[in-house]
Amino acid sequence: MQSPICAMLGIEFPLLAFSHCRDVVVAVSKAGGMGVFGAAALPPERLEEELAWIDEHIGGRPYGVDLIVPNSFVGKGEAPSSAIAKVPETHLNFAADLLEKHGVDPAGLSEAMAGRQSFGDNMQEDGAAKLLEVAFRHPIALIANALGVPPPLMLELGKRHGVPVAALVGTRDHALTQVRAGVDILVVAGGEAGGHCGEVATMVLVPEVAAAVEAVGANTPILAAGGIVTGRQMAAAMAMGAHGAWTGSVWLTTAEAETNPVVKEKMLAASSRDTVRSKSRTGKPSRQLRSPWTDAWEAEDAPKPLPMPLQSLVSEPALRKIDKLSEGGHEGAKALATYWVGQGVGLMNEAMGAGQVVQEFKQDWVAACERLNGFIGD
């Protein structure tokens, strides 16, 4: 395809798949797109294991790595262990009470909270540097930062190794800041997106950013993101100024995905109205599947979510316990179970392999383009 994304990344079809599952990454890259491995929560030694496995199974196809290194957060520059001391008892008690109301024993949450420290470590410059060192030991074709301007080291290593650097943006102004910083690819994520997202809809944000980038004389390629789970949506985004698509939610219900089976079934049955954009999971607005867990944190009597990364220290240990128990059939945990997913979940009605999803994207994209051409006439 004649897209600058294909030329820049060495891929056949400008469809990028963000996933925490290495099997999905491999399957998408082998099908002609590009898998991007989400590494933000992994310690360096675990990332080394995962990337070594990908290298062994991907057959030389291009793939990328995604990190989260925000420009500002509580505890930035401090010892990571200090974060735990900043978590108020009110929030820990609220999470524990919520579990108990659904028959889930909250015992062990404090110990599990200490085990979440690697996530906070990785957002610090030193922690991110260790992950970057691991990533660039492997033949990655893309490195991405999910929150804010990539750290100088990421930009420097990208240039040194000839690896494009991508960054997610949720506003026009953020996009221009990234262009000035020297980012190679803009991932323009609308508010429909799963996980961290802004407020502006993809339909509005993509052409707004495309026009702004063109106005400053830049030619930074754009990947549209947010609610895109079909080829026709991808074609629409490209008609509005994008050069391809960055996707995440659609891979959560694939055969290869490690998504909790309970949550996977919920997603397959969900409508586009069954998600909520909330700070209750990480401290920054992120879209997730609605459940009694998310409803409780949105209630008027709920404590205000803590800033990143403190809220994750409250939510993730509890949600990990919920996942484990729900997979074992615990009814209360099954009700509470949730995960990040975008509004496109309403179009995710069938489980299939990741490679098949790529092929359906291609076919749907072609059909959409042919449909548009049909309106032109002779």
Average pLDDT by stretches of 10, the chain with 378 residues: 96 98 98 96 95 98 91 50 81 96 92 63 76 97 93 95 97 97 98 94 98 97 98 98 98 97 97 96 94 96 92 94 96 97 97 97 98 86
| Alpha helices for 299-341 (secondary structure H) | 310-327, 331-336
Please answer whether residues 242 and 267 qualify as being in contact, where contact means their C-beta atoms are separated by less than 8 angstroms: no
- Residue-level pLDDT at 353: 97
- Residue-level pLDDT at 117: 55
- Residue-level pLDDT at 74: 47
- Residue-level pLDDT at 314: 93
Domains of the chain by start residue, with CATH: 1-77+124-251 (3.20.20.70), 81-116+257-352 (no CATH)
DSSP 331: H
CA 160 to chain centre: 26
Q: Parallel, antiparallel, or unpaired: how do β-strands 195-196 and 63-67 relate?
A: unpaired
Residues whose CB falls within 8 Å of the CB of residue 344, separated by 6 or more in sequence, listed in order: 192, 194, 227, 228, 229, 230, 233, 249, 250, 272
120: its two tokens:
């906070």
* Torsion (CA) 71, 73, 78, 79 in degrees, nearest 10: -110
Question: Biggest alpha carbon distance in the chain?
Answer: 70
Asked whether the bond before 309 is cis by omega within 30 degrees of 0, the reply is: yes
Phi, psi at 236, each rounded to 5°: -60, -45
- How far is the CA of 200 from the CAs of 74, 188, 226, in angstroms? 26, 10, 10
Residues whose CB falls within 8 Å of the CB of residue 171, separated by 6 or more in sequence, listed in order: 198, 200, 205
